[in-house]
């Protein structure tokens, strides 16, 4: 039997052999690029396999013909098939019970891993998320597979990086490569995958990152194509030339996409809270959600699974405004209920489909309100697709390249990018989160982007505070204080009660110049009596406390209840340490360190 450390032993031996035989591999950047290529191949194989398993489930459970798509069907062959999502909910509920009995923590996804844990991911988490995602989508729940794709790509990349004992920043890059490869393989779109890795997982684009990420994306796309992965082209022929006057309506559509994305994220949260208030065990909620989604599937199968077939059908057909609007509402309800009830998956592809429907509805309204504008429904669908997806997923360049690589039409790039930027600005300024980071926020995390904030969490008040502080009893008179603490002997003193509990901060220069009677207690002259820090606070929380208090120095206490004084921290020292660590993090990300 292999010991737990055996893979690391083999990896060290392999690395030693390779570097002796190929001295070029001693260059860290070259080694990372080679590993990125390996990650891309693995991601391409796994994405293709997961997609095929789900397709086989659709064929087995719903009778979908080879080459067809569940959401592309016009109706379910048998009304009893509406119960299949509920059966999937039962299976998912059983996994919830099993995880609860095994006391597994909440799985970590690539964005959270890179932002908080230096790219460290668990293979157990990876397989759990991948399995639950395939069950959810395979049994018809209205969720996409992209969350599972990026999880397996990034999870295996993280393990590979740790086996080879790469530096923290290289681990993060390789995790981004895994996500990039997964998206590239899923959509046959290397540039889309690469910028997904840059914008959403790694959090920065630099020369040090471009070679490994592009290597992973291209190798994943080629691997998926080799193993029979289904490409994602949108056949748009005979599109009219865009005029300058059409840019304004399309920018408006971008804003509408951003607003719709915010509404969708709030809706999913509301439904999730609604299920929580039902006092029903979490293992039963997917069953209830599956019943509702199955009933919606009886109305139209377009709401089932991720929606690949429905999206292609939407571009191929010319439905009326009422039909488009009704499908939009039904798909939105199915996706929100699926996620809110506990099915595993994401809104990546659902946001593309909903955005395309929003764009077509926008074109229909414009045809009634302002026919002279000449908004083409297909172009509006592409612009709406990317705009809404930018708000939900994040990453304007990611979605712009997806539109470019899926339509193969360069003329759309400018208007798509402009509308995507409008959507991104609206979401950032009014909401501040993508769907992934919004769900982290609901769990109490502070992640707003993929930038590594792990160093911010390790930079705590306890590590920065001064312990050599001078204290004095708060009952001391002003005259006694002036005798005990001469001007120039200290800048500030902490006032405490006889139990060493915090009372306030005394600014020495201010007390020496205070015109009050010498018999007044220094307690009455203390500042910041209600504002304190605790050792576990990170730099961000501490800075916010300084700002609220309008203070330049604050006492550090053991806890907020007893307020036993431990030390003192000044805002100037806090900001200097923050700037030092931020500069170091930027150098690491740019490859200068």
Query: Domains in the chain, start-ordered, CATH in brackets?
Result: 27-227 (1.10.3080.10), 244-448 (1.10.3080.10), 457-582 (3.10.580.10)
Pick the more confident residue, 316 or 379.
Answer: 379
Residues 473 and 303: beta-carbon distance below 8 Å: no
Q: What is the pLDDT of residue 518?
A: 84
Task: Give the separation between CA 139 and CA 162, rounded to whole angstroms.
Answer: 35
Look at residue 5 and tell me whether its pLDDT is greater than 90: no
Summarised one tens digit per residue, pLDDT across range 382-400 is: 999 999 999 998 888 899 8
Q: Give the tokens for residue 326.
A: 């009704």
Pick the more confident residue, 570 or 360.
Answer: 360
Look at residue 120 and tell me whether its pLDDT is greater than 70: yes
Task: Give the separation between CA 275 and CA 338, rounded to whole angstroms.
Answer: 11
Burial letters 499-538, b for 16+ CB under 10 A, else e: ebebbbbbbbeebeebeeeeeebbbebbbbeebbbbbebb
Question: Predicted confidence band at 586 (pLDDT cuts at 50, 70, 90)?
Answer: low
Q: Give the tokens for residue 290.
A: 């599956």
Most confident range, picked from 36-40, 168-172, 484-488, 519-523: 36-40
3-state secondary structure of 565: strand
Question: Predicted confidence band at 572 (pLDDT cuts at 50, 70, 90)?
Answer: confident
Summarised one tens digit per residue, pLDDT across range 446-466 is: 555 555 455 555 678 888 888
Q: What is the pLDDT of residue 469?
A: 85
Look at residue 18 and tell me whether its pLDDT is greater than 50: no
Look at residue 358 and tell me whether its pLDDT is greater than 80: yes
Q: What is the pLDDT of residue 362?
A: 95
Question: Predicted confidence band at 106 (pLDDT cuts at 50, 70, 90)?
Answer: confident
> In the predicted model, what is the mean pLDDT of the chain?
85
How much is the average pLDDT of 269-279? 87
Look at residue 176 and tell me whether its pLDDT is greater than 60: yes
Strand partners, 556: 533, 567
> Is the CA virtual torsion 378, 379, 382, 385 positive or negative?
negative
Q: 241: exposed, middle or buried (C-beta count within 10 Å: 0-12, 13-18, 19+)?
A: exposed
How much is the average pLDDT of 484-512? 88
How much is the average pLDDT of 528-539? 86
Q: What is the pLDDT of residue 319?
A: 86
Q: What is the pLDDT of residue 6?
A: 56
Q: What is the pLDDT of residue 500?
A: 84
The DSSP bridge pattern shows strands 492-496 and 471-473 to be parallel
Look at residue 414 and tell me whether its pLDDT is greater than 80: yes
Residues 363 and 320: beta-carbon distance below 8 Å: no
Look at residue 76 and tell me whether its pLDDT is greater than 90: yes
DSSP assignment of 116-128: HSTT---HHHHHH
3-state secondary structure of 568: strand
Look at residue 50 and tell me whether its pLDDT is greater than 90: yes
Look at residue 157 and tell me whether its pLDDT is greater than 70: yes
Summarised one tens digit per residue, pLDDT across range 326-343 is: 999 999 999 999 999 999
Report long-range pairs for 573-580 (Cβ below 8 Å, ≥24 apart).
573/464, 573/466, 574/464, 574/539, 574/542, 574/543, 574/546, 575/543, 577/459, 577/464, 577/539, 578/459, 578/539, 578/543
């Amino acid at each position: 039997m292999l010991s737990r450390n055996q893979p690391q032993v083999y990896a060290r031996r392999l690395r030693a052999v390779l570097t002796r035989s190929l001295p070029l591999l001693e260059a860290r950047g070259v080694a990372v690029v080679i590993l990125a290529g390996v990650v891309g191949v693995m991601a391409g194989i796994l994405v293709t396999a997961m997609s095929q398993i789900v397709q086989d489930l659709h064929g087995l459970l719903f009778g979908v013909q080879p080459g067809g798509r569940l959401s592309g069907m016009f109706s379910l062959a048998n009304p009893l098939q509406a119960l299949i999502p509920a059966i999937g909910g039962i299976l998912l509920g059983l996994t919830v019970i099993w995880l609860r009995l095994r006391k597994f923590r909440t799985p970590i996804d690539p964005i959270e891993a890179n932002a908080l844990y230096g790219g460290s991911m668990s293979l157990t988490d990876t397989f759990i998320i991948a399995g639950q995602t395939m069950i959810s989508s395979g049994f018809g729940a209205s969720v996409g597979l992209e969350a599972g794709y990026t999880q397996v790509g990034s999870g295996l990349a993280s393990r590979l990086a740790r086996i080879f004992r790469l530096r923290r920043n290289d681990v993060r890059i390789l995790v981004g490569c895994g996500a990039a490869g997964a998206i590239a393989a899923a959509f046959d779109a290397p540039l889309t995958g690469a910028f997904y890795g840059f914008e959403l997982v790694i959090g920065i684009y630099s020369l040090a990152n471009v070679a490994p990420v592009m290597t992973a994306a291209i190798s994943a796309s080629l691997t998926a194509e080799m193993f029979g992965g289904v490409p994602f082209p949108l056949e748009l022929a005979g599109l009219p030339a865009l005029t300058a006057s059409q840019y304004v309506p399309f920018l408006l559509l971008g804003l509408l996409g951003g607003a719709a994305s915010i509404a969708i994220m709030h809706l999913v949260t509301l439904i999730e809270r609604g299920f929580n208030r039902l006092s029903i065990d979490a293992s039963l909620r997917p069953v209830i959600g599956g019943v509702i989604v199955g009933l919606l599937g009886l109305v139209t199968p377009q709401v089932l699974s991720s929606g690949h077939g429905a999206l292609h059908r939407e571009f191929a057909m010319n439905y009326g405004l009422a039909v488009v609007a009704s499908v939009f509402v039904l798909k939105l309800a199915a996706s929100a209920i699926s996620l809110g009830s506990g099915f595993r998956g994401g809104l990546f592809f659902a946001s593309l489909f909903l955005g395309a429907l929003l764009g077509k509805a926008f074109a229909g309204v414009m045809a009634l309100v302002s026919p002279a504008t000449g908004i083409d429904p297909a172009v509006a669908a592409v612009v709406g697709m990317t705009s809404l997806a930018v708000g939900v997923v994040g990453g304007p360049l990611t979605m712009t390249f997806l539109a470019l690589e899926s339509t193969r039409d360069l003329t759309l790039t400018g208007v798509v990018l402009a509308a995507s930027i409008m959507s991104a600005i609206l979401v950032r300024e009014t909401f501040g989160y993508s769907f992934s980071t919004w769900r982290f926020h609901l769990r109490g995390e502070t992640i707003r982007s993929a930038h590594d904030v792990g160093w911010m969490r390790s930079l705590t008040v306890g590590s920065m505070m001064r312990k050599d502080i001078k204290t004095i009893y708060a009952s001391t008179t002003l005259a006694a204080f002036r005798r005990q603490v001469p001007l120039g002997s200290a800048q500030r003193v902490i006032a405490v009660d006889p139990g060493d509990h915090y009372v306030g901060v005394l600014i020495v220069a201010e007390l020496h110049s205070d015109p009050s009677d010498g018999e007044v207690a220094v307690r009455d002259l203390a500042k910041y009596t209600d504002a304190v820090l605790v050792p576990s606070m990170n730099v961000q929380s501490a800075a916010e406390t300084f700002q609220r208090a309008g203070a330049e120095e604050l006492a550090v206490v053991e806890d907020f209840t007893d307020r036993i004084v431990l030390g003192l921290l000044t805002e100037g020292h806090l900001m200097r340490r923050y700037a030092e660590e931020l500069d170091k993090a930027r150098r690491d990300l740019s490859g200068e360190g």
